[in-house]
């Protein structure tokens, strides 16, 4: 169950029939612990429709470079593989995200998107919500407690905001129950970028290539989990070494 306060309507379009539910993924680039994805699956199941997930790629993201994009595409490749295992098709377009979303929304009964706080992300979502004929719902999935729940006005220090957040943690810091999709979308025909050729994709983009990719960090949820475990193990060992006694449990 997704907490209702995480969900926000971006327009007031009436319900309509469509070929699929569209989840426009942009900020929450992951297939696990993703409230927007879970909500989109729920909506697709209720409508007895397949789920299509879209990611749009822009050349104009502020200060983006080859290192950023390589890391991102490595993560998206992992997202694709996880979604395919669930019977969800993942479409990646070399097209400005809001334009790609508008095109695929034409045959959608509903558009679900995740929340972004940057100016360009807000512009994209506003543009899509104004142009499409179906309802657009935004789902908060990148903060534990939605901003509007945490505080109804600007907090000028962490000392003020932290107690407000802590009051709501028991309600929002809970496991996200994932559900299987009922209708397979893998048979739908859509053109998509080949994420197996990360270097080739980056080369095609008009972005800053002077900041090159690195081998020490790779994108993807599995990589993040691995680094977390290594970090926890490293902290454990360093505490033993420095204190000469078993450390506090991490």
Question: Domain ranges in the chain?
Answer: 4-215, 220-250
pLDDT reported for residue 235 = 63
pLDDT reported for residue 125 = 97
CB 16 within 8 A of CB 134: yes
CA distance 171 to 250: 23
pLDDT reported for residue 124 = 96
Name the residue among 141, 136, 123, 132 with its Cα closest to residue 178.
Answer: 141
pLDDT reported for residue 250 = 47
Cα-atom radius of gyration of the chain, to the nearest Å?
A: 20
Instruction: Say how many C-beta atoms besides its own lie within 10 A of residue 141's C-beta.
Output: 22
CA distance 248 to 250: 6
- Asked if the model's pLDDT at residue 134 lies above 50, the reply is yes
Q: Are strands 135-139 and 7-9 parallel, antiparallel or unpaired?
A: antiparallel
- Residues paired with residue 98 on neighbouring β-strands, in sequence order: none
pTM of the shown model: 0.89
- Name the pLDDT band for 239 (thresholds 50, 70, 90): low
Class of domain 4-215: alpha beta
């Amino acid at each position: 169950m997704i907490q209702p306060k995480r969900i926000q309507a971006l327009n007031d379009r009436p319900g309509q029939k469509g070929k699929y539910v569209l989840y426009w993924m942009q900020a929450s680039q992951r297939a696990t612990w993703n409230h927007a994805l879970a909500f989109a699956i729920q909506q697709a199941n209720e409508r007895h429709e397949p789920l299509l997930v879209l990611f749009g790629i822009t050349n104009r993201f502020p200060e983006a470079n080859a290192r950023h994009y390589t890391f991102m595409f490595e993560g998206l490749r992992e997202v694709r593989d996880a979604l395919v295992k669930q019977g969800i098709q993942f479409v990646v377009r070399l097209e400005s995200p809001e334009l790609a979303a508008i095109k695929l929304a034409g045959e959608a009964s509903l558009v679900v998107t995740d929340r972004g706080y940057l100016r360009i992300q807000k512009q994209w979502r506003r543009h899509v919500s104004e142009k499409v004929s179906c309802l657009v719902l935004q789902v908060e999935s990148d903060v534990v407690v939605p901003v509007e729940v945490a505080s109804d006005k600007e907090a000028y220090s962490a000392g003020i905001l932290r107690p407000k957040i802590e009051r709501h943690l028991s309600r929002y810091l809970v496991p996200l129950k994932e559900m299987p999709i009922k209708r397979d979308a893998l048979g739908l025909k859509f053109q998509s970028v080949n994420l197996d050729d990360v270097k080739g994709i980056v080369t095609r983009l008009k972005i800053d290539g002077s900041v090159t990719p690195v081998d020490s960090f790779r994108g993807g949820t599995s990589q993040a989990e691995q680094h977390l475990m290594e970090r926890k193990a490293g902290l454990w060992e360093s505490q033993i070494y420095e204190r000469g006694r078993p450390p506090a449990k991490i």
